[in-house]
Structure 1
């Protein structure tokens, strides 16, 4: 039966996040990493050997042309996501594309249109959406356990290493706090409260024009989200969702939480929900299920969800005066 077959993966862009994803992918019995591509063939060979992958390529186009590959995981720098995702879709591949899916809303639209045109599954790799903690917390919130949400507080911050050739501080590669990590707290606010009525945002900039730190307040009809992203400071990386009947806190670091706590009626209740591997496994499982069901998008993180978030990020980019040109 087709459902028992392994889904055959290819990976393009073999940096740190690709290593973490590949390490998780090998934990899934129905996943098979069959090809990897890097513009540096030595890097590709080393990566392939590490994860028992049989084929390596020194060009992304060559991997896209490989008939054995069913789905491509795109883990290149942000600036190339749109071009590579569309090219993979044109070659008949399903695509899981690292976040942010693109550096502009216009490019995000083109990627979704390509998915529809070629009838291939496409998903932005928002792994946090699929981890057990987030799925259960959303169910609890929807069930009214903390009442109506009034406040969401979340941040993502760390001390970035400004090294020569590093992607994080490179304007040409879409570096900076907002696009690299700011999308995480914005994602949490969006899945809980939807599209805001108004956004206030302020940033501290590097001399090269990227944002080093961005703080955001998202205004909703009856709630607010206070969010921050920084690559020049640290934080406890907890997330709090407060309602008129209680509060939920996601364990730190919240974007890959292994549990959560509910504070209600003067009591604290703790829940433990470990991830499989680091947590990338859960988004891969979702990809498998969608492909086997002939879906071109996930119901948990849909095309519309990605486009909504892209539009929110673009509004903030414009408000703070960030430009990658």
Structure 2
């Protein structure tokens, strides 16, 4: 064990959190707090009043508006970066310099080049980098993987995903959120939402070796793209295609995996039933997500740091997802 990971012999890993936005309220930070062997010891936010209130509500003993104060704090062992993706590299490189394990929210960065720089920095520092693609750890998707690995639909041929939703309202100032600013998320909601699915498909079906696509802005409501279509080829010959539109009347989230002997249908983002169809008939299975949806993801970080198992979502796996997204967006 390297000197930088000597804290792993202690009773608890003390986490510092950079960012206190919506994703941290229920999805992630409570999961860190409820995982035995972990504690959230400090949080950073740019607004003093907001971060102070956040720390009080979540029972976090220390807070700051200075990220360096958190990253350099000897009482903080590991860092969770929960800011918009355009700042991930800025903070991550600082964390790598101080040789502390890190988990970054998804997507890793607005582009593949920034993602690569982060991965290389943590590899050089010899400390783990995780990415919050928590669907790789959720029981409902592990069941899909089990069906695929058991060849319940035979040899896998093709995967298709349709994700649509109605336009996002714009406030009186003309602004929306980071997902609509092309400087932060060039693909708009594609960057935030499609990244989850593409990463999951790589986990389920194997690495992707070719990808391309088309991204346009149909509505003119904001600067980022709002309509994207893409196709890709997995290394094992499985083909894939996706259609993501954020200006439609109907909301849809539907994945179909076609095999030589059947089909599996599920949703990436919605908690729809898993459906298996083959010669034995049609099977429908409901598997609920935990209230703190990153629970299993965080537990897997714990087990990885303790040397019990390898986490399914690391900087290396996230880097492949960043590459695919860049290719589909034409970057």
Same fold flag (TM > 0.5)? yes
CA deviation digits over 1:71-95, x for unaligned, max 9? Answer: 2111111111111111112122211
Query: Which of 210, 214, 227 is the aligned partner of 1:201?
Result: 214
CA deviation digits over 1:251-287, x for unaligned, max 9? Answer: x4x3364752211116122334333323211111111
- What is the aligned partner in structure 1 of residue 20 from structure 2? 14
- What is the aligned partner in structure 2 of residue 218 from structure 1? 232
Residue 205 of structure 1 deviates from its aligned partner by 4.6
- What is the aligned partner in structure 1 of residue 98 from structure 2? 91
- Are positions 1:255 and 2:261 aligned together? no
* 3-state secondary structure, aligned to 1:255: coil
- What is the aligned partner in structure 2 of residue 311 from structure 1? 323
Q: Is the 8 A contact 1:105 1:310 kept in 2?
A: yes
- Are positions 1:120 and 2:127 aligned together? yes
- Are positions 1:293 and 2:307 aligned together? yes
Query: Which of 123, 130, 141 is the aligned partner of 2:137?
Result: 130
Query: Which of 140, 162, 166 is the aligned partner of 2:177?
Result: 166
Q: Is the 8 A contact 2:211 2:324 kept in 1?
A: no
- Which 10-residue stretch deviates more, 46-55 or 174-183? 174-183
- TM-score for the superposition, normalised by structure 2: 0.85
- What is the aligned partner in structure 2 of residue 57 from structure 1? 64
Query: Could you tell me how far apart the structure 1 residues matched to 2:328 and 2:17 are?
Result: 31
- What is the aligned partner in structure 1 of residue 3 from structure 2? none
CA-based RMSD of the aligned residues comes to 2.6
1:8/1:206 CA distance change after superposition, 3 Å: farther
Query: Could you tell me how far apart the structure 2 residues matched to 1:4 and 1:282 are?
Result: 22
1:39/1:309 CA distance change after superposition, 3 Å: same
- What is the aligned partner in structure 2 of residue 188 from structure 1? 200
* 3-state secondary structure, aligned to 1:211: coil
- Which 10-residue stretch deviates more, 302-311 or 76-85? 302-311
Can you give the 5+ residue segments of structure 1 that lack an aligned partner in the other structure? 320-325
Can you give the 5+ residue segments of structure 2 that lack an aligned partner in the other structure? 1-6
- Which 10-residue stretch deviates more, 129-138 or 286-295? 286-295
1:52/1:218 CA distance change after superposition, 3 Å: same
Query: Could you tell me how far apart the structure 2 residues matched to 1:194 and 1:118 are?
Result: 26
- TM-score for the superposition, normalised by structure 1: 0.87
Residue 198 of structure 1 deviates from its aligned partner by 4.5
